[in-house]
Every structure is written in structure tokens, then in C-alpha cells.
Chains A and B, each alone.
Chain A
Amino acid sequence: MNVVPLEGKILKENDRVAAELRARFQEHGILCLNLVSSPGAGKTSLLERTLESFAPGERVAVLTGDIQTDNDAVRLARAGFPVQQITTGGTCHLDARMIEKALAAWNLEELDLLLIENVGNLVCPSNYDLGEAAKVVVLSVAEGEDKPLKYPAMFFRSELLILNKVDLLPHVPFDLRQARANAQRVHPGIEILEVSSLTGEGLPRWRDWLQARRAALRRSLAAP
């Protein structure tokens, strides 16, 4: 019996493509964010509001993943910024190769913010690096406050948690404090914002967060 040691990650092909994407984003000064959530948490609505808040001419684009339809791309395109639908045809997550393929249609010189809306799923997308600077996980108050404990991998790998649909709080038995504590337990130090894409509550703080990340990237690129 011979034992052959193996090196490396199981998804190393995805990781290799993701590393190439990350280098390209860095080279072009693009902040790339990977938005993840369960289905129906409100990623598309949040992105619609986000795009609407940008002045025409802002260098922003969106890639949106869906298993079957292009409904989200149709909604997002109304804001007038470049949007592409990635239809995975049954696959439960986006992978780096899909992003690479979609980006071939765009001139990266014209972008400095790329928002990726992943397939609604709190499990599988956590394993697939897309070359993003950060994952942002969206959890709506119409779900359970124990989601971070049930899906720790996703919350552990996300830098920011957006608690969405806070306009529903008077109508649902969602314990905001417990949700925050659960997220902190799985990922100590995770940033948390409370927003409502419907009423606009908290959206300025999300926008500030985005702009701060963009500014930090610009500063890091300007530094010698």
C-alpha cells in the first residue's frame, strides 16, 4: 500500500479562476461584492434601491444569478446601469468561471463597482470564491433569527450582514437583538446594518458603507 499525499483545496480550479479575477479587479480598481442570502430575502430589491441612488454615469455594474429566469435582470436594468443575467440552469450557486465568462462582454476600464447577486441559497455559494473583495449576506426579518446558527459557513465568510425588511418588525416575531447576537457568535466582529428596501430606512448607512469601501480601495491603489 502506497500513501500519496495530496496538496491543496478540493475546489482549486474555481479558486484559481477566482484569484485571476481578484487580480483583474485590483488592476482596474474595481470593488467587487458578492451578495448572498436565502431566496426571497430581498437581494434584488436592495440592489434596485442601490442602483437608483447612484447618479447617471456612476461606474457601476451588476451580475445577477438565477437558476431559471431573467426576471431580476429585467428589474435591475431599469436603473440604466449595465446588468447581465447569469442563468445557471439548475446549478445552486455562481462559480468563478461564470463570472469570468460574463465579464468578457464588458470593458473593465469603465467600471469601479461590480455587484454580484448570487443565487438565493445560504449553503452552496459559501464554497465558491468569485474573486470578490467581500461577501455581504442579506437576512430578512421574515426569516428566523437563528439563521446564522443554522448556516454558519455563510455568516462566517461574510463581512457585512444586512438585516432587511425591518419595516415588517411590528408584524413578525423576529428578535432583532437575538439575530445580532447569533451573527456575532458565529462571526465575532461581523458588521451589521438594519435596512428596509421598501421604506428606505437604513439605506443611507448601506450606501455610506459602500462608499467607504470604494474610498478605501482607491486609497490603497494610490499608495506607493
Chain B
Amino acid sequence: MHELAIANSVLEAARTEAEKRPGMRLAKIVVRIGDLAGVDADSLSFCYEALVKETDLERCALEIERIPQSNECPRCRHNFTVANFEIACPACGSVETRFAGGDELELAYLEMEDA
């Protein structure tokens, strides 16, 4: 259950950014979570809702973009989505492919509107 700490970090980052823009209020926070990040999206949403409840951010939504694992093939440069840990290149068949993404735990963007 580290999703609570993660939700807190997301809120802190969003508040820091929002404070730089007086007269605006946060409408939405968007984060990117890779499938290999070890973070449960439902649990993160639940923790976020609990943290913003009855605060000024109660109406600010959290949107989670899930990022699947992707690998790149050094032989043919093909970049592909990995499902079920199948890392063989679908284009040329090479099994020597490299991890290219899917462990993200990142802030993406905020949507702000006039307060």
C-alpha cells in the first residue's frame, strides 16, 4: 500500500505548479503509470479520492494513463508493445530485444481553468 504516498507526491507536485498560476484552479491531473511500475491504478485512484475529499481539490480529477511495456529491436529498429512478457521481435523474430518503456511513474500534465 504505497499508493497513498504516491498519491500524496502527485498532489504536492500539482499544488506547487498551481501556486505559480494565481487566478486559476486545478481541473485535472494526468499521470503516466507503466505496467511494470508496480503501482495499482485502482488503488492509486482510491487513495487520491480519499486525500482530496472535502478539500479545495475535491473537484480535481486524477486521470491515469497506463503505459504497456515496449521493447526495441536492435537488429531491425522495430519498436513494439510487449504483451505477456513475449519479447521476441514481431517484425524480424530476433529475441535479443531491449526494454524501451513501461516502468514509468511520471507526471504528465495538468488542466487548469479560471477560478
Contact = CB atoms under 8 A, between A and B. Distances in A.
Interface residues of A, number: 31
Interface in A1-35: 1-13
Contact of B112 (A4, A8, A126, A188): A4
Contacts of B87: 188
Given A2-B24, A92-B1, A185-B85, A124 B38 contact: yes
B17 interface: yes
A151 interface: yes
B109 A13 contact: no
Interface string B18-46: 00010010010001000011110000000
B interface secondary structure, majority = mixed
A6 B32 CA distance: 11
Given A10-B105, A127-B39, A149 B85 contact: yes
B6 interface: yes
B67 interface: no
Given A1-B113, A4-B109, A11-B9, A92 B36 contact: no
A53 B29 CA distance: 51
Contact of A156 (B1, B9, B103): B103
A10 B30 CA distance: 11
Interface of B: 1-2, 5-6, 9-10, 13-14, 17, 21, 24, 27, 31, 36-39, 85, 87, 103, 105-113
Given A2-B24, A152-B36, A153-B38, 14 more contacts: A1-B112, A3-B109, A4-B111, A4-B112, A5-B109, A6-B13, A8-B107, A9-B105, A11-B105, A124-B38, A127-B105, A153-B103, A186-B85, A188-B87
CB-based closest 10 A-B pairs: A153-B38, A6-B107, A124-B2, A4-B110, A126-B38, A2-B112, A185-B85, A5-B109, A10-B105, A10-B9
Interface of A: 1-13, 91-93, 123-124, 126-128, 149, 151-154, 156-157, 185-186, 188
15 contacts: A2-B112, A4-B110, A4-B111, A6-B13, A6-B107, A6-B108, A10-B107, A11-B6, A92-B2, A93-B2, A123-B38, A126-B38, A127-B38, A157-B103, A188-B87
